Amino acid sequence: MKATNTDGKLLPTGCYITVGASTIPLNILPEISDRKSATYNDENIMGASFPIKTFGHGDNRTLSISVQFYADVESNLLTNANYCRLLQSAVYPRNQTNNGLPFMPPPICKFKCSGLISACELNVIIKSYSLKLLRDTPWHDTLMIPYFFTMDLELDVVNDSSMLPGQEKILGDIPGQSSCSRNPPSSSTQTSSSPQSNPITGTPEQ
């Protein structure tokens, strides 16, 4: 995979994060760690040399992602600033006035990158972000935006309650062979989502 074209411009990597109706292309391949654990309970038996293990439940599948943003011209600085604000907004509750509720949960996002993470697009919630602005990177004189910065994100994968993954589904999630027929989460998922206004562009989000 080539990182740039003959003009030195970054090429699309196929990796992206979608917040509402806005998609953030990750034109610099991110660093990703994927972790999940299972909880087992110890059942003590009188006279046994050790307890037996019984499966309790699965824990969260968490993706830790280091996203890098680079700008070579001033217009890309503003684009990166919008992407930064979009990711930051995904950890805040949304205003809700239609049904009288004071707020709605943050939106469910989408993430796609390496086939080793998933052959299909994943539904995720952004649990935290950490913005890193480096002093040894050039900054724009008036906008005070660095030409290069990083954001570390922690994402939890969420699933529709009718499509919870089991071992068979994981084994069938093969790059190039999976049908990628997963539906977006409904109101029965771990969190809910509804249309909102994009804080950057003002366009409706789904």
Residue 14 has what pLDDT? 81
Q: Which of 66-75, 127-136, 166-175 has the lowest mean pLDDT?
A: 166-175
Q: Is 119 contained in some domain?
A: yes
Q: Is 104 contained in some domain?
A: yes
Q: Is 187 contained in some domain?
A: no
Q: Is 136 contained in some domain?
A: yes
Q: Is 40 contained in some domain?
A: no
Q: What percent of the chain has pLDDT over 90?
A: 44
Q: What pTM does this model have?
A: 0.74
| Integer Cα distance of 197 and 204 in angstroms | 5
- Total domains in the chain come to 1
Please give the residue range of the domain that contains residue 23: 16-33+60-167
* Better-scored residue on pLDDT, 204 or 35: 35
Residue 10 has what pLDDT? 57
Q: What is the pLDDT of residues 78-117, one digit of tens each?
A: 999 999 999 999 999 988 666 667 778 899 999 998 888 8
Of the candidates 80, 89, 79, 88, the one whose C-alpha atom is nearest the C-alpha of residue 197 is: 89
Q: Is 7 contained in some domain?
A: no
Q: Is 172 contained in some domain?
A: no
Report the DSSP beta bridge partners of residue 112: 16
| Integer Cα distance of 152 and 30 in angstroms | 10
Q: Is 135 contained in some domain?
A: yes
Residue 1 vs residues 5, 27, 99, 118: alpha-carbon distances, Å: 11, 12, 49, 19
